[in-house]
């Protein structure tokens, strides 16, 4: 997976360089807007994205509604609920919520004992037809002195449960 700059994470923006050198800027969640809300970016932006795709063998985790369909292997990490609406830092989301606490308890963990461990975090979401399709990402539990216990996004991309390979879904 490419090493993306910090500004491409969380609720920030992505920058895509076109072949002619122009740079397009879009919200980091543009994929979500395209797939879930049927937003169609300008053709020049789509062409710039397509021109910057890695070779097919490296296109892990990207499923475009721009004519490209790629699947993602299911992580072996345990799943823990994390509310994306509870963003506390640039890459951290509060885990001090009922769903997170319940999932950790099912794993025999508390927030304190989960610090430093990696998880697949998920939040409820739906597809364009209203069917459940959790949004997911990998990260670790950290303790922030100001904000408490957070699920910290590791930068490997957000995806939906429907992006997982059929064998693992």
Inside any domain, residue 99: yes
Beta strand spans in the chain (E)? 13-17, 23-27, 79-81, 92-94, 118-123, 135-144, 148-153, 159-160
Q: Supply the pLDDT for residue 52.
A: 67
**Cα four-point dihedral sign 143, 137, 167, 102:** positive
Same domain, 42 and 84: no
Domain membership flag for residue 66: no
CA–CA separation, 112 and 107 (whole Å) = 13
Same domain, 99 and 146: yes
Q: Is residue 118 part of a domain?
A: yes
List of residues 6+ apart from 159 with CB closer than 8 A: 61, 63, 72, 135, 136, 137
What's the rounded Cα separation, in Å, for the pair 41 and 149?
A: 36
Assess whether 86 and 151 both reside in one domain.
Answer: yes
Residues 99 and 42 in one domain: no
Domain count, the chain: 2
73 domain-assigned? no
Task: Encode the chain (169 residues) as per-residue pLDDT tens digits.
Answer: 344 344 434 456 777 787 788 888 887 777 777 777 778 888 788 777 777 665 443 343 444 444 444 456 777 899 999 998 888 988 899 999 999 999 999 999 999 999 999 999 999 888 777 788 888 889 999 999 999 999 998 877 788 888 887 544 4
Number of other CB atoms surrounding residue 51 within 10 Å: 12
DSSP 8-state secondary structure symbol assigned to residue 67:
S
What is the pTM for the complete model shown?
0.59
For residues 86 and 142, membership in a common domain is answered with yes
Q: Tell me if residue 119 falls in helix, strand or coil.
A: strand
Residue 36: give the domain boundaries: 6-58
């Amino acid at each position: 997976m490419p090493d993306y700059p910090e500004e491409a994470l969380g609720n920030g923006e992505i920058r895509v360089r076109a072949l002619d050198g122009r740079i397009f800027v879009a919200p980091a969640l543009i994929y979500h807007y395209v797939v879930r809300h049927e937003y169609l970016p300008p053709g020049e932006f789509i062409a710039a994205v397509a021109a910057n795709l890695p070779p097919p063998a490296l296109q892990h985790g990207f499923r475009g509604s721009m004519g490209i369909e790629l699947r993602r292997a299911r992580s072996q990490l345990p799943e823990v609920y994390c509310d994306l609406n509870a963003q506390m830092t640039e890459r951290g989301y509060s885990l001090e919520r009922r769903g997170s606490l319940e999932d950790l308890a099912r794993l025999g963990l508390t927030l304190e004992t989960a610090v430093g461990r990696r998880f697949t975090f998920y939040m409820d979401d739906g597809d364009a037809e209203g069917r459940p399709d959790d949004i997911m990402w990998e990260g670790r539990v950290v303790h922030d002195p100001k904000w408490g216990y957070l699920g910290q996004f590791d930068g490997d991309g957000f995806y939906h449960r429907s992006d997982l390979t059929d064998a693992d879904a």
